[in-house]
Structure 1
Amino acid sequence: MGCCSGRCTLIFLCTLQLMLAVERQVFDFLGYQWAPILSNFFHIILVILGLFGTIQYRARYIMVYTVWAALWVVWNVFLICFYLDVGGLSKDSDLLTFNISAHHSWWREHGPGCVRSDVFQTPPGVGATATSTGESHGYFTVTGCLLEYQYVEVLQSAVQILLALLGFVYACYVVSAITEEEDSFDFIGGFDPFPLYHVNEKPSPLLLKPMYQST
């Protein structure tokens, strides 16, 4: 397979996936999104495995990457549905943090153009008891965002889906190409321990007979 073949394209796709996965992992850590952090961790490992298999012509490793690419598409479709509130999901829930914290996406407060303003006030709907005791709660408002955080997350997931689909297609192509090469090499005796043209190295009895010269 030449330099411009599907193998080189798959190497490029895996490298790009790896870079974007590391970038996404950093921002998910900043937002304490534990479910995406775990999924990104496995994604990075399996993309590295697929990259290694592509470079070293290991079809089994590429097949594992192919299976993961399909699962990665499913996961990112779920994230899109989550942030768009599709199918009963809600982006305001604590599902991605396993309900152990109330953190949300880092892009919610730090998106492009977003300005955060801290507001300390008594929450609306609280009775007179809390107001009279002087209890106050801190809130923040985010204004001026050029793109809402849910759309940033959806855009990231859409890019991941596109790369995973391309990686799936090229991985299948590379696996088939490697398999064909192995089959053709085996057909001409590349893996045959007994070659077709076997030279008998056992010495002939005629060569062991002493030669007597008559006088």
Structure 2
Amino acid sequence: MQEGNKLVAIITARGGSKRIPRKNILPFLGRPIISYSIHAALESQLFAEVMVSTDDEEIARMAEAEGAIVPFFRSKENADDFSGTADVIAEVIMRYKERGMTFETGCCIYPTAPFVNPGILKEGYKKLVDGKFDVVFPMVKYSYPIQRSIHKVENGKVAMLWPENYHKRSQDLEPVYHDAGQFYWFRSDYILSHKKLFGDNVAGLEVEEKSVQDIDTLSDWELAEIKYQLLNRK
């Protein structure tokens, strides 16, 4: 931890998930899935506070049982389907300020990110500090070149989005990445002034595809459990 700069971990876990009801606290290989994010943050020993931002009393009780704190509940305006992560972070920072606590830097960790571990959190923080970035997040390379994407046009036909790439070799196409959807290291002043996570001074931390899985459906959940077991087998 940087001298004089206390860090906060913000785990965002609202109660109203639609695609998988109660997703943030469902058992993942026998443990509430949120517990993986909480324990990764605690075990990193980076944070002065490991807090959960939620609007749900059951999630709050479970988070506290796992070692996190819930110093206040999330507002209704930031607990619906349209509230953004940056808005939630800004709300937490301001609520702490009202209590006389200032965090220059923090990390927002999603509650359904069982692949996050203390080592990757430390690596992300080091990159934020050393590179003087505003935000750092894990990213993963697309498994197939998106430059050869196809899309539906009409009457069942498909067409290439970029036909000029048809004859190019895969190795000659630029690697392209996407957000792994796990955590975001951030500087608080940037979040408060811009209210967004992606800007001109943002860096990605490349992670392997085997340690990334979106969990939006029950099939995604099963795949995540399989991947987790493969990564953690003895």
TM over 0.5: no
Q: Which has the larger radius of gyration?
A: 1
Q: Which has the higher strand share?
A: 2
Greater fraction helix:
1
